[in-house]
């Protein structure tokens, strides 16, 4: 399991995935000041929400590369023959995807917060929210990747599958920023539900893709 997680993480960073992700995330975050104007108070007010939306889109970015290439290359076949269940493989992929995209994303958030003129306490709330929400996002991304593996134009379909399911994370994440009580707890709970459910769904999808 550890070797499998490490393999995916290494391939992601070696393939330049982290640079791509940070670049994309910061680009989306800088689009908003252009779109709504340079009003600092307005930017500071919407900044946290902007970061959450950008994080959601960034998590979606590598979905096509999470499961489909391993199915095509016969890697999943080899793992199943060695007695690893598809759900275990999916769980390893969730852990690997989180290790690959959450640390660069949290670092990039520091830059985005400066661009959007976020206060220190807002930044802390965003970072705490992302730390709690990204495991759920990673689980969702792997489930989406497994469900859309082998589908033509998987990238576009993946967006349609994943973004609606990510709405609860967005609502609770942004809700915590607005100072609503229990936002972070609800976010953690949603993340946990996704972490338990998504590998099972992804495992079933991988099993179906093997047939």
27 vs 73 by CB, closer to another protein: 73
User: Tokens 């930044």 belong to which residue?
Assistant: 123
As a whole number of angstroms, the distance between CA 158 and CA 149 comes to: 9
47 vs 62 by CB, closer to another protein: 62
As a whole number of angstroms, the distance between CA 174 and CA 184 comes to: 9
The residues binding another protein (CB under 8 A) are 3-4, 7, 11, 14, 72-75, 77-82, 210-211
36 vs 210 by CB, closer to another protein: 210
| Closest CB 132 distance from another protein, rounded Å | 32
| Closest CB 20 distance from another protein, rounded Å | 16
Do residues 207 and 149 lie in contact, with contact meaning Cβ atoms separated by under 8 Å? no
| Closest CB 79 distance from another protein, rounded Å | 7
Q: How far is Cα of residue 137 from the mean position of the Cα atoms in its chain?
A: 4
| Closest CB 91 distance from another protein, rounded Å | 16
30 vs 85 by CB, closer to another protein: 85
Per-residue exposure over 26-65, b if at least 16 CB sit within 10 Å of its own CB, e if not? bebbbebbeeeeeeeeebebbbbbbbbbbbbebbbbbbbb
| Closest CB 76 distance from another protein, rounded Å | 9
3 vs 120 by CB, closer to another protein: 3
Per-residue exposure over 154-177, b if at least 16 CB sit within 10 Å of its own CB, e if not? beebbeebbeeebebbbebbbbbb
| Closest CB 148 distance from another protein, rounded Å | 19
Do residues 87 and 200 lie in contact, with contact meaning Cβ atoms separated by under 8 Å? yes
Do residues 89 and 206 lie in contact, with contact meaning Cβ atoms separated by under 8 Å? yes
45 vs 65 by CB, closer to another protein: 65
């Amino acid at each position: 399991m550890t070797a499998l997680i490490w393999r995916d993480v290494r391939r992601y960073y070696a393939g330049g995935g982290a640079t791509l992700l940070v670049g994309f995330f910061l680009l989306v975050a800088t689009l908003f000041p252009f779109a709504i104007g340079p009003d600092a108070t307005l930017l500071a007010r919407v900044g946290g929400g902007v970061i959450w939306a950008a994080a959601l889109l960034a998590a979606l970015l590598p979905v096509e590369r999470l499961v489909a290439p391993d199915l095509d290359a016969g890697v999943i076949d080899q793992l199943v023959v060695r007695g690893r269940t598809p759900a275990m493989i999916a769980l390893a992929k969730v852990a690997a995807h989180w290790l690959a995209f959450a640390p660069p994303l949290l670092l990039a958030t520091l830059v985005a917060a400066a661009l959007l003129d976020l206060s220190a306490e807002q930044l802390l709330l965003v970072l705490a929210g992302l730390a709690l929400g990204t495991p759920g996002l990673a689980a969702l991304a792997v489930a989406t990747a497994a469900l859309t593996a082998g589908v033509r134009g998987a990238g576009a379909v993946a967006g349609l599958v994943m973004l609606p399911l990510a709405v609860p994370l967005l609502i609770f994440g942004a809700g915590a920023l607005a100072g609503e009580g229990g936002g972070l707890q609800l976010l953690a709970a949603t993340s946990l539900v996704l972490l338990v459910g998504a590998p099972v769904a992804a495992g079933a999808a991988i099993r179906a893709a093997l047939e």
